Amino acid sequence: MNFKRLSLGVLTAVGLTNMVAVEVAIAAEEIFVPGLVYRTGPYAPNGTPFANGFKDYITLINERDGGINGVKVVYEECETGYNTKVGVECYEKLKSKNPVTIIPNSTGITYQLIPKTAVDGIPLLTMGYGRTSAAVGSVFPWVFNFPATYWSQATSVISFIAGKEGGLANLKGKKITHIYHNSAYGKEANPTLEALSKKYGFKLTLLAVDHPGQEQKATWLQIRRKKPDWIFMSGWGVMNQVAIKEAAAQGFPMDHFIGNWWSGSENDVAPAAAGANGYTAATFHAPGGDTKLHADLKKYVYDKGLGGGDVSRIGEVLYIRGLINYIMVVEAARRAQDKYGVKVPNGEQMRWAYENLNVTSADWERIGLAGYPELKVSCNDHEGGHPVLFQQWDAGAKKWNVISDWIPVMKDLVRPMMEADAAKYAKENKITPRKCM
Amino acid sequence: MEFLNLVLLDQIRDILEFPSFFFEVVFGGLMSGVMYSLVALGFVLIFKASGVFNFSQGVFALFAALTLVGLMTGTMPFSLEKSLPALPVWLAIAVTFGVMIVLAILVERIVLRPLVNQDQIIMFMSTIGLAFVLEGLGDTMWGSGVKALDVGIPSGNFMVGEIQIQVFDLWAAGIAAFLVVVLAVFFQKTRTGRALRAVADDHQAALSVGIPLRNIWVVVWSAAGLVALVAGIMWGSKSGVQFSLSLIALKALPVLILGGFTSVPGAIVGGLIIGVGEKVAEVYWGPLVNGAIENWFAYVVALVFLLFRPQGLFGDKIIERV
């Protein structure tokens, strides 16, 4: 009897081991991409469309193309609640599954993961957020923050304002106020704005708003007093909605109120309704759902009942931004496969792919987003220096309209600042910058 | 002297030089204070009658606002499809109040009744659990997106001399005043209100004269539900209805510390003091430290009061004989 039990036990154990081995073998043929998302908590209204964009693009790649070059992509979400500590726990949980990239989806989490991913050899993709000076690839080989950083964005905003004022020379004496989320993220643009203020002679006022930004009366009283010509806002979540509503109630001209690309979604303008008409925001992609990519999403994802959210919302700004994030992961994975002849690229191979990413007009056409400018990353320039677009809210039609050309960033101004900051980081952390040819 | 100029005299000179702006700051602070008082009132009602600090009061406001928007837009709970008839504002508010009463009954049955005679800290912990459950339920029922809420409160502004007055703020103050009058009449003039006060004074004595404690709890949680609904409408109209609305509870804490946990007038006066104090501090002293001081400054004001009057401005003095 005992022998029989022992035999059964051994057989069961062997069977289980084989099952695990089979599962590992299958996993080895799949590309794993995790999503650090926040569908809950105070920032969920923004986190949810973003996460839906992540999920839907991976579903599209699997359903339409059978994966990346035929290799299935496995997507797994980890809920962070936009909480840095939880985000780090998510990373620790997911890193053993060999993710090809980590997208932290928060500047706070980014700062925590920069040293960790460098040790673990996993590329960290922080599109349009995170540590700006991580664009210096010689110091931050594992971090990529293309298509543009907060600092570059700030230069484009000032260029945009200058365009409205009749040229950069006309900025002299103008009053520009930066309202910012009192966090690492919100403060990112301040040094650039201060440098621009010195260079072009406009008077800069910096006004911080504490998390979550539900109550901003003191901030707007100061705006009333200082009477700025232009307001630039680096907000997030409810801070944006309250600010836009306060500006409208105060009668501030909305076309002189410019949000950064995290202050320019449909969520931000909804509560102010007609009062938000004319509010303007920066963006690094076009708004709207009339692209070939959207047609494919409807056909291969939503018509099959596989969509992450509501099909009527796939033209929204934050959803599109979620798509763009994984478009870049997929393009890099494709490049790594081609270069190394592997099905599932490892971290180092992905890092090479990001550093040699060159998304041309033809690539954008193939992706389904025709008309986007070329995006080129290099060993030392992980930002790529993508130009910035400006969109304006039409409250009547309830949609964003593009109101500018792609406005170039002032690379000559921000790049030396990035290099100085990166050098400081390297010194503090005893990093020897690598040589980029 | 230079230091004194920097931290005090410059600000005083500024106030004297531009008095109209100072009055605008004070007026703005009073109006913000009214909004804080609205939230604090809900805490006071429940604490007064049952000794429970209801951690979920902010989530109550969120849940009420979510339900109201859902009814006004004809949203089917859980499926989020707009397949129901959209209710007019007054009917939606009435139905939402009904939902809050049902919620109060459920809270009494499921949460409070099994915990009768437990320590206050246990009751407090149960309200933390209630907050998470309600937040999750709200998310599942109504979705997590930002929802615009327009119950017809006018917006815009007008000038009185050099002072800009926001129309919405005036309405908020009027509605808060009306709510306080309704609560005062309810507490002072009605039989149920007197029973509530009796329970608040002494549970045992109230029970001994035949006041049904459980019914009283339902009534008081319903009243807190009404206050939460009003707070949800006012705050939701400002920022849109979204999950950060539950964080308005944080604005009520310094108000409660200052005004006392058991006093309705305390919640009002405390709210006004905190509102004015933090706005004046932020506008005149905030720039010295790069701004954003109003959140923590409110707690500093409250803690200073706490040093001198631990029971708050109007709270009941706790005397324990050894």
Domains and CATH numbers, chain B: 2-140+165-240+252-308 (1.10.3470)
Contact B279 A217 (CB under 8 A): yes
Name every chain A residue with its beta carbon within 8 A of the beta carbon of B286. Answer: 218
Residue A341's region, left for phi above 0, alpha for psi from -120 to 50, else beta, is left
Percent of chain B scoring above 70 in pLDDT: 98
The yes-or-no verdict on residue B209 having pLDDT over 50 is: yes
For residue A22, pLDDT over 60 is answered with no
Q: Say if A22-148+288-381+415-428 and A150-283 have the same CATH topology.
A: yes
Nearest by CB to A251, which of B29, B157, B248? B157
Per domain, the residue ranges of chain A are 22-148+288-381+415-428, 150-283
Q: What is the spatial distance between Cα A98 and Cα B302, in angstroms, rounded to a whole number?
A: 51
- Angstroms from B157 CA to nearest CA on chain A: 6
Contact state of B292 with A222 under an 8 Å Cβ cutoff: no
Tokens, residue A107: 């500047």
Contact A271 B246 (CB under 8 A): no
Residues in Cβ contact with A252 at an 8 Å cutoff, skipping those fewer than 6 apart:
A223, A231
Q: Give the model confidence (pLDDT) of A106-165 as tens digits.
A: 999 999 999 999 999 999 999 999 999 999 999 999 999 999 999 999 999 999 999 999
Of B147, B239, B283, the CB nearest to A218: B283
Residue at B154: amino acid letter: P
- Whole-number pLDDT of residue B322: 66
Mean pLDDT calculated for residue range A299-318:
96
- Taking the C-alpha atoms of residue B208 and residue B199, their distance in angstroms, rounded to an integer, is 11
User: What value of ipTM does the predicted structure carry?
Assistant: 0.91
> Could you report the per-residue pLDDT of A73-92, keeping only the tens digit for each?
999 999 999 999 999 999 99
- Candidates B21, B145, B290; nearest CB to A225: B21
Residue A218 to residue B157, Cβ atoms within 8 A: no
Q: DSSP letter for A157, please.
A: H
* Nearest CA-CA partner of B90 in B138, B12, B136, B152: B152
Of the candidates A40, A210, A249, which has its C-beta nearest B156's C-beta?
Answer: A249
> CB contacts < 8 Å between A and B, how many?
117
Q: Which of A214, A267, A317 to mutate to test the interface with B (most CBs of B within 10 A)?
A: A214
CB contacts, 8 Å: B247 with chain A:
42, 212, 214
The answer, yes or no, to whether residue A17 has pLDDT greater than 50, is no
Q: Looking at the predicted structure, is the pLDDT value of residue A2 above 80? A: no
Count CB neighbours of A200 within 10 A: 17
With contacts defined as CB-CB under 8 Å, which chain B residues touch A206? Answer: 290-291
The whole-angstrom distance between A208's CA and the closest CA on chain B is 5
Residue A26 scores a pLDDT above 70: no
Positive/negative CA dihedral, B121, B127, B130, B131? negative
| Minimal C-alpha gap between B181 and chain A (Å) | 26
The pLDDT, as a whole number, for residue B318 is 67
The pLDDT score that the predictor gives to residue A5 is: 52
Looking only at the bridges linking them, the beta strands covering A203-209 and A175-181 are parallel
Specify the 3-state DSSP secondary structure of A205.
strand
d(CA B68, CA B198): 33
| Band of pLDDT at residue A25, cut at 50, 70 and 90 | very low
* Structure-model confidence comparison of residues A22 and A189, the more confident one: A189
- Pairwise pLDDT comparison (B272 vs A10), residue with the higher score: B272
Minimal Cα–Cα distance from A84 to chain B, Å? Answer: 17
Selecting from B32, B235, B286 the residue whose C-beta is nearest the C-beta of A217 gives: B32
Contact B228, B179 (CB under 8 A): no
In chain A, residues with a C-beta closer than 8 Å to the C-beta of B295 are: 210
* Exposure class string for B71-93: b at 16+ Cβ within 10 A, else e: bbbebebeeeeeeeeebeeeebb
Residues B267-289, buried b or exposed e (16+ Cβ, 10 A)?
bbbbbbbbbbbbbbbbbbbbeee
**For A32-53, how does the pLDDT look when each residue is reduced to its tens digit (9 = 90+)?**
999 999 998 888 999 999 999 9
Cβ proximity of A361 and A354 under 8 Å: no
Measured distance CA(B25)–CA(B14) in Å, rounded:
13
Question: B166–A249: do the CB atoms touch at under 8 Å?
Answer: yes
How do residues A379-407 score in pLDDT, each as one tens digit?
999 999 789 999 999 999 999 999 999 99
Instruction: List all residues of chain A from 35 to 54 with a beta carbon under 8 Å from chain B.
Output: 39-45, 48
Domain A22-148+288-381+415-428 has CATH 3.40.50.2300: yes
For A281, left (φ over 0), alpha (ψ -120 to 50), or beta?
Answer: beta
Residue bearing tokens 């980081």: A425
Chain B residue with minimal CA distance to A45? B145
Does the distance separating the beta carbons of A267 and B145 come in below 8 Å? yes
Residue A281 has pLDDT above 90, yes or no: yes
Give the other-Cβ count within 10 Å of A85's Cβ.
Answer: 12
Q: How far is B176 from chain A (nearest CA, A)?
A: 17
Mutate to test the interface with A, among B35, B81, B144, B293 (most CBs of A within 10 A): B144
A227 touches chain B (CB under 8 A): no
Question: What pairing do the DSSP bridges indicate for beta strands A389-394 and A280-283?
Answer: antiparallel
- In chain A, the percentage of residues whose pLDDT exceeds 90 is 90
* Per-residue 3-state assignment (H helix, E strand, C coil) for chain B: CHHHHHHHHHHHHHHHHCHHHHHHHHHHHHHHHHHHHHHHHHHHHHHHHHCCCCCCHHHHHHHHHHHHHHHHCCCCCCCCCCCCCCCCHHHHHHHHHHHHHHHHHHHHHHHHHHHCCCCHHHHHHHHHHHHHHHHHHHHHHHCCCCECCCCCCCCCEEEECCEEEEHHHHHHHHHHHHHHHHHHHHHHHCHHHHHHHHHHHCHHHHHHCCCCHHHHHHHHHHHHHHHHHHHHHHHHHHHCECHHHHHHHHHHHHHHHHHCCCCHHHHHHHHHHHHHHHHHHHHHHHHHHCCCCHHHHHHHHHHHHHHHCCCCCCCCCCCCCC
pLDDT band at B204 (very low <50, low <70, confident <90, very high): confident
> How would residue A260 be classed by pLDDT, with cut points 50, 70 and 90?
very high
Q: Which of A212, A267, A273 sits opposite B146 (nearest CB)?
A: A267
Whether residue B244 and residue A238 make contact (CB cut-off 8 A), yes or no, is yes
Chain B residues within 8 A (CB-CB) of chain A?
21, 24-25, 28-29, 31-32, 35, 80, 139, 144-150, 155-157, 164, 166, 168, 235, 238-240, 242-248, 251, 278-279, 282-283, 286, 290-292, 294-295
Amino acid in the structure at residue A136: V
Angle among Cα A364, A367, A369 to the nearest 5 degrees reads 55
Contact indicator for A301, A64 with CB cutoff of 8 Å: no
- Find the closest chain A residue to B244 by CA distance: A42
Query: Which positions in chain A touch B240 (Cβ < 8 Å)?
Result: 238, 241, 267, 270-271
CATH number of A150-283: 3.40.50.2300
CB A43 within 8 A of CB A265: no
Instruction: Please report how many Cα atoms fall inside a 13 Å half-sphere around the Cα of residue A329, on the Cβ side.
Output: 34
Backbone dihedral angles phi then psi of residue A258, each to the nearest 5 degrees: -120, 125
Q: How far is CA B122 from the centre of its chain?
A: 23
**Confidence at residue B51, expressed as pLDDT on a 0 to 100 scale:** 80
pLDDT digits (tens, 9 = 90+) for B92-135: 999 999 999 999 999 999 998 888 778 889 989 999 999 999 99
A324: burial class by Cβ within 10 Å (0-12, 13-18, 19+)? buried
Inspect the interface and report whether the beta carbons of B139 and A224 lie closer than 8 Å.
Answer: no
Q: Would you state the pLDDT for residue A27?
A: 56
Mean pLDDT of B138-158: 91
3-class DSSP state of A176:
strand
Whole-number pLDDT of residue A335: 97
Place of tokens 């923050």: A145
What average pLDDT does this structure show over B272-299? 92
Say if the Cβ atoms of A43 and B29 lie within 8 Å. no
Whether B249 and B23 have beta carbons less than 8 Å apart is answered as no
